[in-house]
Amino acid sequence: MQTNLLINGQWKSASSGKTFSVDNPATEDILAEVQRGNAVDVQQAVDAAKSAFNEWRWITANERGAMLHEVVAKTHQHWDEIAELLTLEQGKPKSENEEEVEWTANTFTYYAEMGRMMRGQVIPSGERSQLNIIIKEPYGVVGCILPWNYPLLLLAWKMAPALAAGNTVVIKPSEMTPLATLLFIEKCCDHLPNGVVNVVPGFGDAGQALAEHPDVPMIAFTGSVATGQKLAGICAPMMKHTHFELGGKDAFVLGPDADIKKAAKAVSYSALINCGQVCTSSERVYVPQHVRDEFAGHVTDLVKSLNIGPGMEADTDVGPMIGAQYREKVIGHVEDAKQKGATILTGGGIPEGKGYFYQPTVLMQVDHSMKIMTEETFGPAIPIMGYGNIDDAIEWVNNTPYGLGATLRSNDPKICKRFFEEVKAGTVWINDPLTDNYAGPFGGMKMTGGGRELGEEGFTTFMETKHVHWDFSDEPKDWWLPYH
Ligand code: NAD
């Protein structure tokens, strides 16, 4: 198992000699001791990436595309190995991790081709003798700082377009989940020139050193709002380009016409995949008041039928949470709701035995005085609230500082159109929650951050714009001076 830092093509120990433990959230056993990178290692990684950039940016887009396709081919060869390690360190069921590896490979395929197709634009010039060109250029070294919930997918959404655009990268994986990232880079990216991809596992101090480094003009970050705010404070005075994908509190609304049995299945899925640890998890559910109890009954029956267990067991539906402190937060939200009058229809407890498990929990009698309806819970909880008319539901969906996603189940076109026009969120799903599309931009509004990953926007975000104004005539122009 790879546990070292990757700098300039060399796997090496951390300069401090320190390591940190990565555990299996299903058993709490230590999986590995990983080298803990710090500012000194970040300095070396940035030096390597900066030097590699001078060559990588001039390699033809065709060659870069071919190398990114090779990443995909190697990912297919190591598919199972990567999905297994991801399951062991992250916790979600292996089938979900197999999908994560597949989406990772597909992201590389998508950007390998997009990189071959785009470098800018020619615009109409002011005079016949002139040519005006808009060139898209790579920034240089891009710092990629990652969370633990989709370690590889969220890496691919940054790394693939950044490399395709001609940048080099320094990756700081989450301290909770560095192992699958190291394996992926070791097995699938070993043909890339030295220094193009560097990995410094470690904690927040390593991420901060990356953000503070003057030779890193762009930071691409996915994580919490609190860390995003710290990074914004570092990057803004240095005028760095930032790409932030932060937290959410997505709502799921059942339109008055929705089939409640089908909706119950959709809600259970969108609230519980990855044990509710998805930035776009449905964290609050609004249903017409007159069907609330019946709908909640269907959701409860479904949730009770799910198997909780280690992600490596074939019949597991819901794995453990990533760690004790994250589970504490969910417990706090559920307790707060209970104290304020919520009813627990199922769950609300910790199963016996080891691992950071928490029973998927369905709550009713909830309102907006409760944390579980207003703050990001990031766990397996489904609070269900009734609404009198759809105006209230749409107002509630928007009544949050976040703006990542929102889901509606309805076949009433008038309600659908109102919903997607009035809801302030980066993605609106109608009838099919949480689905990504490589060609469709993904990201948030408001406190979720303004970046977009995937699609063309997710590529051009890793390039800056230069306008070239070129005149081919030797005739003097009317260059104003002297005025007399
Ligand atoms: P986090 O903010 O705690 O950590 C994310 C990364 O930032 C880690 O690599 C961490 O080591 C690093 N970090 C911590 N402090 C830092 C500092 N001061 N300077 C630089 N780097 C620092 O987030 P997390 O707990 O790993 O992830 C969960 C959060 O991520 C949730 O809020 C979730 O909503 C969000 N998320 C958002 C999206 C999205 O696309 N919008 C996707 C997935 C997760």
- The domain that contains 161 carries what CATH number? 3.40.605.10
Tokens at 253, concatenated: 């609304």
Distance CA 15, CA 122 (A): 48
Residue 9 phi/psi, 5° resolution? Answer: 85, 0
Q: State both tokens at 339.
A: 């104290």
Is the same domain home to 285 and 330? yes
Closest CA to 327 of 299, 346, 302, 351: 351
Query: Tokens at residue 151, please?
Result: 């370690």
- The pair of three-digit structure tokens given for residue 26, joined into one six-digit string: 């299903």
337 falls within a domain: yes
Name residue, tokens 């990074």: 231
Q: Verify that 144 and 15 share a domain, yes or no.
A: yes
Q: What is the pLDDT of residue 450?
A: 86
In a domain, 95, yes or no: yes
Cβ(363)–Cβ(335) below 8 Å:
no
- Residue owning the nearest CA to atom 9 of ligand 1: 174
Q: What is the pLDDT of residues 22-70, one digit of tens each?
A: 999 999 999 999 999 999 999 999 999 999 999 999 999 999 999 999 9
CATH number of the domain at 270, please. Answer: 3.40.309.10
**Residue 423: DSSP 8-state:** -
Whether residues 398 and 293 share a domain: the answer is yes
Strand partners for 465: 136
For the chain, the average pLDDT equals 97
Does 123 fall in a domain?
yes
Q: How far is the CA of 397 from the centre of ligand 1 (A)?
A: 24
Question: 223 CA distance to ligand 1 centroid (A)?
Answer: 2
Q: What is the DSSP track for 117-171?
A: H-SEEEE--SSTTEEEEEEEEE-SEEEEE--SSSHHHHHHHHHHHHHHTT-EEEE
What are the two backbone dihedrals, phi and then psi, of residue 241, each rounded to the nearest 5 degrees? -85, 130
- pLDDT of residue 104 exceeding 90: yes
Same domain, 18 and 141: yes
Please report the pLDDT score of residue 164 as a whole number.
Answer: 98
Percent helix / strand / coil, the chain, rounded to 5: 40, 20, 40
> Do 43 and 169 sit in the same domain of this protein?
yes
Same domain? For 346 and 461 the reply is no
Q: How many domains does the chain have?
A: 2
| pLDDT tens digits, 201-255 | 999 999 999 999 999 999 999 999 999 999 999 999 999 999 999 999 999 999 9
172 CA from centroid of ligand 1 (Å): 11
Q: Which residues line ligand 1 (CB under 6 A)?
A: 145-149, 154, 172, 174-175, 203-204, 207-208, 211, 222-224, 227, 230-231, 245-248, 279, 376, 378, 404, 444, 448
Residue 149 CA to ligand 1 centre (angstroms):
9
Of all helices (H) and strands (E), which one includes residue 218? Answer: strand 218-222
Q: What is the DSSP letter of 307?
A: P
Residues 100 and 189 in one domain: yes
Q: Are residues 87 and 191 in the same domain?
A: yes
Q: How confident is the model at residue 479 (pLDDT cuts 50, 70, 90)?
A: confident
Flag whether the pTM goes above 0.95.
Answer: yes
Mutate to test the pocket of ligand 1, among 171, 181, 213, 224 (most ligand atoms within 8 A of CB): 224
Among 34, 100, 145, the mutation site with the greatest number of ligand 1 atoms within 8 A of its Cβ is: 145
**What confidence score (pLDDT) does residue 277 get?**
98
Q: Is there a contact between 134 and 121 (Cβ–Cβ < 8 Å)?
A: yes
The mean pLDDT value for 109-137 works out to 97
Q: Which of 149, 157, 235 to mutate to test ligand 1, by most ligand atoms within 8 A of the CB atom?
A: 149
H helices of 253-369, in order, are 260-272, 292-304, 324-339
Ligand 1 closest atom vs CA 203: 11
In contact, 316 and 275? CB cutoff 8 Å: no
218 and 308 belong to one structural domain = no
User: Residue 397's domain spans which residues?
Assistant: 250-430
Instruction: Give the pLDDT band (50/70/90) at residue 483.
Output: confident
Strand partners for 318: 308
Give me the mean pLDDT over the 418-428 stretch. 98
Nearest ligand 1 atom to the CA of 146 is: 9
Residue 297 lies in a domain: yes
Distance (Å, whole) CA 196 – CA 432: 38
> How many other CB atoms are found less than 10 A from the CB of residue 239?
7
The reply to whether 268 and 411 lie within a common domain is yes
Closest ligand 1 atom number to CA of residue 404: 41
CA distance 264 to 285: 10
Structural domain includes residue 442: no
pLDDT in tens, 267-320: 999 999 999 999 999 999 999 999 999 999 999 999 999 999 999 999 999 999
Q: Tell whether the torsion through CA atoms of 247, 98, 284 and 428 is positive or negative.
A: positive
The tokens for 104 are 């990772």
**369 in a structural domain:** yes
Q: Which residues are catalytic?
A: 245, 279
**Res 310: pLDDT:** 98
Calpha distance 416→423 (Å, rounded): 11
| Banded pLDDT at 478 (limits 50, 70, 90) | confident
Query: CA quadruple 110, 153, 175, 20: dihedral positive or negative?
Result: negative
CB of 231 closer than 8 Å to CB of 221: yes
Whether residue 290 is contained in a domain is answered as yes
Query: Do 284 and 249 touch, CB atoms closer than 8 A?
Result: yes
Residues in the chain: 484
Rounded Cα distance, 111 and 231, in Å = 27
Taking phi over 0 as left and psi of -120 to 50 as alpha, with beta for the rest, 306 belongs to beta
Mean pLDDT of 467-484: 90
396 pLDDT higher than 90: yes
Distance of CA 121 from the midpoint of ligand 1 (Å): 35
Give the position, in ligand 1's atom list, of the atom nearest the Cα of 210: 20
Alpha-carbon span 182 to 154, nearest angstrom: 14
- Is 398 within the bounds of a domain? yes
Do 24 and 38 have their domain in common? Answer: yes
Based on the domain organization, do 280 and 358 belong to the same domain? yes
